[in-house]
């Protein structure tokens, strides 16, 4: 019985007592119970579940310095419209979920959806219930969790881009600066080691053929391509990008010995 109640609450966003009564009236049939909830105007989220949720918000939560270092979590929750994304109730929901992700200490989405909140409901049930109240399809899309000695978060003013970074040393100000940089410059890789070697070779082959087709001899083409490959890294690898607050420095030079151990970047729609 309790498993059916949990399942129907997640599917419909209806309250526990409404679900229990519907299941009782339907003699335990989940399908009939859902039909009853819809007939009674309670299952608000069911009709909305297939609607595209392409707007939304990103929020993070950070636990400050302690003997065990720092911890942080970030979540992305999507809504159908930007109007709902600017709703204070929705904003409060997303922040509660970020705080819950910090307590849950998990970056696994399915594990987090099943995490039990202080209210006794799971995260998945909470999101479904909120969808019923707000009147739009809401989707918990992503969650990430980071532990380290110097962790910082940043959310852009529109709430649609959020970042967590973990530095190996450095200052709190540097961690926040790098988080802002990641939000603005969209790095794809932490280091060159993360770049797929086959992708680089394919890029090199395409660029080489292009240079030769333009009339460059093989030796000159190789030099041109080497520069273009270097540009590829400069645009995509965090440590090699020009630092957003001082273009005379790369991020790596700005940080010195305090390298980035990890970064997470969420952007609505990407």
More confident residue, 226 or 61: 61
Mean model confidence pLDDT for the chain: 89
Name the residue ranges covered by the structural domains of the chain: 2-43, 49-148
By the 10 Å C-beta count (0-12 exposed, 13-18 middle, 19+ buried), 34 is classed as buried
Question: pLDDT at position 255, please?
Answer: 96
**CA-to-CA distance for 213 and 160, rounded, in angstroms?**
43
- Is the pLDDT at 247 greater than 90? The verdict is yes
- Is the pLDDT at 79 greater than 70? The verdict is yes
Question: pLDDT at position 101, please?
Answer: 98
Question: pLDDT at position 41, please?
Answer: 67
Q: Which residues, in sequence order, are CB contacts of 11 under 8 Å at separation 6+? A: 34, 43, 45, 46, 49, 128
**CA-to-CA distance for 85 and 118, rounded, in angstroms?**
24
> Is CATH 3.30.360.10 the classification given to domain 2-43?
no
- Helix, strand, coil share of the chain (percent; to 5): 50, 25, 30
> Is CATH 3.30.479.20 the classification given to domain 49-148?
yes
Question: pLDDT at position 179, please?
Answer: 97
Which pTM was predicted?
0.77
Q: Which residues, in sequence order, are CB contacts of 232 under 8 Å at separation 6+? A: 200, 203
**CA-to-CA distance for 15 and 12, rounded, in angstroms?**
9
Kindly list the distances between the CA atom of residue 226 and the CA atoms of 63, 71, 203, 214, 252, in Å, as whole numbers in the listed order. Answer: 44, 40, 11, 16, 21
**CA-to-CA distance for 195 and 72, rounded, in angstroms?**
26
- Order of strands, sheet of 161-167, starting from the edge strand that comes earlier in the sequence: 150-155, 161-167, 260-267
């Amino acid at each position: 019985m309790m498993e059916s109640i949990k399942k129907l609450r997640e599917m419909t966003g209806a309250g526990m007592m409404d679900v229990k009564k519907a299941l009782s009236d339907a003699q335990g049939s989940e399908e009939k119970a859902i039909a009853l909830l819809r007939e009674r105007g309670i299952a608000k989220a069911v009709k909305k579940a297939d609607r595209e949720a392409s707007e939304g918000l990103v929020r993070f939560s950070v636990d400050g310095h302690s003997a065990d270092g720092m911890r942080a979590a970030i979540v992305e929750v999507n809504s159908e419209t930007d109007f709902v994304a600017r709703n204070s109730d929705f904003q409060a929901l997303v922040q509660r979920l970020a705080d819950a992700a910090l307590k849950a200490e998990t970056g696994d989405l399915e594990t987090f959806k099943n995490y039990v909140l202080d209210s006794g409901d799971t995260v998945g049930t909470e999101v479904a219930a909120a969808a019923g109240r707000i009147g739009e399809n809401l989707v918990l899309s992503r969650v990430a969790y980071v532990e380290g000695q110097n962790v910082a978060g940043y959310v852009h003013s529109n709430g649609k881009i959020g970042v967590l970074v973990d530095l190996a040393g450095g200052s709190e100000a540097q961690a926040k600066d790098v988080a802002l940089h990641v939000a603005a410059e969209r790095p794809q890789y932490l280091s060159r080691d993360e770049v797929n070697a086959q992708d680089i070779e394919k890029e090199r082959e395409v660029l080489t053929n292009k240079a030769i087709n333009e009339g460059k001899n093989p030796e000159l083409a190789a030099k041109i391509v080497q520069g273009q490959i270097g540009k590829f890294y400069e645009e995509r690898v965090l440590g090699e990008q020009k630092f957003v607050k001082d273009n005379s420095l790369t991020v790596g030079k700005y940080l010195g010995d305090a390298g980035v151990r990890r970064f997470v970047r969420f952007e609505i729609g990407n």
